[in-house]
Amino acid sequence: MNRYKLVFAESENYPQLCQSNQALPLSLNQALVLAAKRAGLTVDINPQLGGSRERPLYFFKAPSTRKALIPLLKRKYIFLCWGTPAFNSRYVVRLFKDMRFRLFLEAAVCVVVNDMQTKIEVEKHRADNVYLVPNFVDTNYFSHHGYNRKANYILAPGDIDRDEELIFAIAEVSNLPVVRVTRDAKVKKLYEGRRSGKIRLEYQCSYHELRDLISNSKLIILPISTQNHAAGQTSLLEALSCGAAVVLTRGATSTVAEQYHTVKVVEGNDVATWCRSVSDSVDKDLAGTEASLSASQEVHRVHGLDPFLERFDSIFKSATM
C-alpha cells in the first residue's frame, strides 16, 4: 500500500477526474492525477480530514477559511498559488485575507507558482521549496487543430479580470467585429445590457467551439484588468497553441509569452494605445504563419502534458519524503 494519497481539498467530481475524454481538453486536476500516480501516490477527493490509513497529501489552489483547518492541524499539503489577494478597501477584510494568505504559504510543504511575478511575491514570505512550474494547458487538444483562418473577427476569450470597457472601445473603432467568449453569467449580463452591433457574445460554448473560434480568428485580445495574479494565462496559452496572434496587457500574464513574435504586449489599458496595437497586429496578420507555428510548438514543449508530469513527479516525490 502506498504511504501517501493525494487529496484534492477543493470539491471535484471524482469520476471526471479519473476519466479522460478526447472530446474535451485534459484539465489541470486530471493532469495532477496522472502526475500523482506516476509518483506512486493513490488519489482521493475528500474535503474531510482523516478517514484513511494512508497519509494524506492535500492539494489546493484557493485559500479559504474552511481549508485553514489543514495548515492549523499541521497536515501536509501543496499550495498552488496563482497570486496575491486582491485589494479590498475595508482594512479588516484586507488584513484577514493577508494573514490567511501568509498562513497557507508558510505552512505548506511546498508552494507551486506559474509565473515569475508570483514567485517573487511568495519568496517574500518563504525562501525554500517554491517551485516555478509553467501553467499546464492541453496543447495536444488545441495545437493539432490546424490554422484555418476562414473568418475575419477579433476574439476576446475569458471569464473574469478582463477590461470590458476597453473591449467595447476596441469594437467601436475596429474594422473587424469582436466576438466575446465567456462562461461568466455577470459578463453575459453586461453584454446583453449593452447590445452592440459590432460585438457578438458567445456564452458557455463548448471547448470544440472555442477551439474553432480561436483557430479561425484574426487576432486574440486579452486586456487584463488585474495585476494580483496571472489572469488569462490559460486563454493565452490556448490561443498560442492554436497558432493565433495575441495582444495583451503587460503584467504577470505577459511574462510567460513576451518572447513570442506573435504576441504584442501593451503597457496598461489606455484605449488609444490599445486601438493602435490591435490595428497594427491585424495588419501584420501573423495568425497561421511560420511564426505562429513556432510559438505553438514552443508552448507544447514548455506547457504541455509531458513537461508538466515531469515537474510534478519530482514535486510529489519531494513532498512525500
Give the rounded distance of the alpha carbon of 145 from its chain centre. 20
Label residue 3 by pLDDT band (50, 70, 90).
confident
Question: What percent of the chain stands above pLDDT 90?
Answer: 62
Strand order in the sheet with 77-81: 42-45, 4-8, 55-60, 77-81, 110-113, 130-132
Could you give the CA distance from residue 223 to residue 166 in angstroms, rounded to a whole number?
7
pLDDT tens digits, one per residue of 262-277: 999 999 999 999 999 9
Label residue 10 by pLDDT band (50, 70, 90).
confident
What's the angle, vertex CA 13, arms to CA 202 and CA 44, rounded to 5?
A: 145
**Size (the chain), residues:** 321
Label residue 282 by pLDDT band (50, 70, 90).
very high
- Give the list of residues 6+ apart from residue 99 with CB closer than 8 angstroms, or none: none
Which set of grid coordinates corresponds to residue 277? 496595437
Q: Which of 120, 125, 124, 171 shows the shortest CA–CA distance to 275?
A: 171
> Does pLDDT of 15 surpass 50?
no
Q: Which of 68, 59, 76 shows the shortest CA–CA distance to 103?
A: 68
Q: Are residue 144 and residue 277 in the same domain, yes or no?
A: yes
Q: Are residue 121 and residue 174 in the same domain, yes or no?
A: no
Could you give the CA distance from residue 321 to residue 311 in angstroms, rounded to a whole number?
16
Q: Are residue 130 and residue 200 in the same domain, yes or no?
A: no
Q: Are residue 179 and residue 53 in the same domain, yes or no?
A: no
| Residue corresponding to grid cell 511574462 | 255
pLDDT tens digits, one per residue of 101-156: 899 999 999 999 999 989 998 999 998 999 999 999 999 999 855 555 667 899 99
* pLDDT of amino acid 66: 81
Q: Which of 192, 206, 199, 197 shows the shortest CA–CA distance to 221?
A: 199
pLDDT tens digits, one per residue of 222-253: 999 988 788 899 999 999 999 999 999 999 89
pTM listed for this prediction: 0.89
Q: Are residue 217 and residue 115 in the same domain, yes or no?
A: no
> Does pLDDT of 212 surpass 70?
yes
Domain interval for residue 123:
4-136+305-319
Q: Assign 153 to helix, strand or coil.
A: coil
Outline where DSSP puts E strands in 51-167.
55-60, 77-81, 110-113, 130-132, 154-157
The segment with the largest mean pLDDT, out of 9-13, 16-20, 153-157, is 153-157
Mean pLDDT of 19-27: 74
Q: Are residue 19 and residue 131 in the same domain, yes or no?
A: yes
CA-to-CA separations, 120 to 63, 81, 86, 251, in angstroms, rounded: 19, 12, 17, 13
Q: Give the number of domains in the chain.
A: 2
> Does pLDDT of 7 surpass 60?
yes
Encoded amino acid at 83, one letter: G
* pLDDT of amino acid 263: 96
| CATH code, 15 | 3.40.50.2000
* pLDDT of amino acid 21: 60
Q: Are residue 205 and residue 273 in the same domain, yes or no?
A: yes
Q: Are residue 87 and residue 206 in the same domain, yes or no?
A: no
> Does pLDDT of 297 surpass 50?
yes
* pLDDT of amino acid 170: 97
Label residue 281 by pLDDT band (50, 70, 90).
very high
Q: Are residue 176 and residue 278 in the same domain, yes or no?
A: yes
What's the angle, vertex CA 4, arms to CA 57 and CA 108, rounded to 5?
A: 25
pLDDT tens digits, one per residue of 24-82: 899 998 999 999 999 999 887 554 545 557 788 999 888 888 888 888 888 899 999 98
Q: Are residue 144 and residue 110 in the same domain, yes or no?
A: no
Q: Are residue 154 and residue 61 in the same domain, yes or no?
A: no
State the DSSP H helix or E strand holding residue 31, giving kind and residue range, or none if neither.
Answer: helix 28-38
* pLDDT of amino acid 11: 57
State the DSSP H helix or E strand holding residue 102, giving kind and residue range, or none if neither.
Answer: helix 91-107
Q: Which of 259, 184, 189, 251 shows the shortest CA–CA distance to 222?
A: 251
pLDDT tens digits, one per residue of 152-192: 899 999 988 999 999 999 999 999 999 999 999 999 999 99
* pLDDT of amino acid 55: 87
Q: Are residue 27 and residue 174 in the same domain, yes or no?
A: no
